[in-house]
Amino acid sequence: MASVVEYKGLKAGYYCGYCESREGKASRGMWAHSMTVQDYQDLIDRGWRRSGKYVYKPVMNQTCCPQYTIRCHPLQFQPSKSHKKVLKKMLKFLAKGEIPKGNCEDEPMDSTMEDAVDGDFALMNKLDIKCDLKTLSSDLKGSIESEEKEKEKSLKKEGSKELIHPQAIEEKLGSGEPSHSIKVHIGPKPGKGADLSKPPCRKAKEMRKERKRLKLMQQDSAGAFEGFQAQGQPVCLLPKAKSNQPKSLEDLIFESLPENASHKLEFTRFLCNSPLEAEHPANGPECGYGSFHQQYWLDGKIIAVGVIDILPYCVSSVYLYYDPDYSFLSLGVYSALREIAFTRQLHEKTSQLSYYYMGFYIHSCPKMRYKGQYRPSDLLCPETYVWVPIEQCLPSLDNSKYCRFNQDPQAEDEGRSKDLDRLRVFHRRSAMPYGVYKNHQEDPSEEAVVLEYANLVGQKCSERMLLFRH
């Protein structure tokens, strides 16, 4: 089995859905008649990405909105406060049917796909994989409500103050927009000022720090007392309560709902049509490698479908489409968290599968920066194709849309094409090395096109994939 691709070359001066430039976008692409999962893994590690059967690579130093490949480290991932809010919002909806007030926008998806998209996403060959989507349990509900009340209390102050409405925070965290606090200014009552007989008002942040410090001191003293009896003989220390530990992503997702839940959410996975050939090696994941539809069913109705590629070293998120009537559930964020958890599950069986690829990170488009919130994560250097932690990349991206992230000026692309003659060509129903094929060609432009293709896909892929030539 070999990948068969047809190189289409440069496509420039067309509409960009990110900045709405009419002629700013530039990319190179190829049509994948078939492709192995290992070839696609190596291609996305060189900045390529598929949209249906069309595989494209932005021309990073020319396109209006440079798109940097981004990957997350699921094994070290800890959900942020905004991620937890999305999971808790889903809990409230499933458990009690609560719908958040206001206009809760979801994070943007990669909906602006390349024009040459196949569009054929028929469901094929249902696998023996059906997983109930277990969500947050009702025992977390009390802690959610008490946490929200505590936050409201800590924000209330006497005199001149600024209140940040909890609902406004919820709406912002559920959107893909940058988090800007919504402030309500409340002035002091006429004729009344500060009461000098009372201690000065203290910031809520300082009060929380002091409470935490006192709590730690109490725990230390209690531990010292329990460690010794009056006669000086040691006794067993009590283990720390697990409730003090932050909940992991699995804790937040895989707990069961109460029996009287208002809604039921189910999760199924299907193999879907794509250029990737399905593979089932003995040492691979149980579901195999390939492209899958992940379907989200709410009370028997499908509300979202995510497309993912399961590859040798990663789960690659292709895109998500969903019923807009349920955008209040922030399904883009929720599905990403589900896919991160799924990557962890696959890693348990297949240790080398340990990354979650989120597609492209577009720093020049503020609404597309949300992918940088899934950390730890790396960006791919567009010149040397090495991974660099996103924290090191952001200062450079603040100054320039296009950046080389590798700080070593002597570093080169180690995977570049080094021997063009070893590139494989498919011509007249036969596979052959380019060194043989070129002896029968008289077109002087032929070698320039093949060389451009070879430099873009790298030496390894050029030797494995078959480049279709007329």
* Assigned domain for 171 exists: no
Residue 192 lies in a domain: no
245 within domain boundaries: no
pLDDT-derived band at 219, boundaries 50, 70, 90:
low
End-to-end, the C-alpha distance of the chain in Å comes to: 21
Predicted confidence at residue 240, as pLDDT, reads 41
Let me know whether 368 and 263 are in one domain. Answer: yes
Same domain? 300 vs 359: yes
Same domain, 77 and 61: no
Burial class (CB in 10 A: 0-12, 13-18, 19+), 295: middle
252: confidence class by pLDDT, cuts 50, 70, 90: confident
Q: Work out the average pLDDT over 376-402.
A: 98
In the numeric block, the tokens 């893994």 are attached to 41
pLDDT confidence tier of residue 108, bands split at 50, 70 and 90 = low
Contacts of 174 (CB under 8 A, 6+ apart): 82, 85, 86, 89, 100, 104, 105, 106, 328, 330, 333
Domain termination residue (choose one: 317, 344, 372)? 372
Residues 76, 65, single domain; the answer is: no
What's the rounded mean pLDDT across residues 52-76?
97
Q: Looking at 319, 350, 372, which one is the last position of a domain? A: 372
Nearest to 336, CA basis, from 93, 51, 83: 83
Q: How many domains does the chain have?
A: 2
Asked whether 401 and 410 are in contact (CB, 8 A), the reply is no
Are residues 61 and 82 part of one domain? no
Could you give the CA distance from residue 394 to residue 397 in angstroms, rounded to a whole number?
5
Q: Does 111 lie in the same domain as 82?
A: yes
**pLDDT band at residue 198, thresholds of 50, 70 and 90?**
very low
User: Which residue in 189, 32, 183 sits closest to 114, CA to CA?
Assistant: 32
Q: Identify the pLDDT of residue 173.
A: 28
Same-domain pairing of 42 and 78: no
> Highest mean pLDDT: which of 91-95, 227-231, 253-257?
91-95
Can you tell me the mean pLDDT for 254-275? 88
Say if residue 456 is in the same domain as residue 323: no
Angstrom distance (rounded) from CA 4 to CA 126:
26
The model's confidence at residue 236, banded by pLDDT at 50, 70 and 90, is: very low
Closest CA to 276 of 242, 315, 239: 315
Give 296-340 pLDDT, tens digit per residue: 999 999 999 999 999 999 999 999 999 999 999 999 999 999 999
> Which residue did the predictor score with more confidence, 174 or 286?
286
Q: Do 134 and 262 fall into the same domain?
A: yes
**Domain membership flag for residue 83:** yes
Asked whether 157 and 201 are in contact (CB, 8 A), the reply is: yes
Domain co-membership, 122 together with 260 = yes
In a domain, 52, yes or no: yes
Residues 76 and 64 in one domain: no
Looking at residue 435, what is its pLDDT? 95
Domain range for 295 is 71-140+252-372
Q: Is residue 352 part of a domain?
A: yes
Choosing from 345, 372, 399, the residue where a domain stops is 372
Percent of the chain at pLDDT above 70?
70
Paired with 67 in beta bridges are none
392 or 223, higher pLDDT: 392
SS3 of residue 360 by DSSP: strand
Query: Does the structure show a pLDDT above 70 at 60?
Result: yes
Q: Does the structure show a pLDDT above 70 at 175? A: no
- Closest residue by Cα to residue 320 from 47, 171, 121, 147: 121
pLDDT for res 391: 98
Whether 138 shows a pLDDT value over 70: the answer reads: no
Q: Tell whether 362 is covered by a domain.
A: yes
**Contacting residues for 373 by C-beta, under 8 A, at least 6 apart:** 80, 82, 83
Q: Where are the alpha helices (DSSP H) in 174-293?
A: 204-227, 249-253
Q: Is residue 348 part of a domain?
A: yes
- Statement to judge: residues 327 and 427 lie in one domain: no
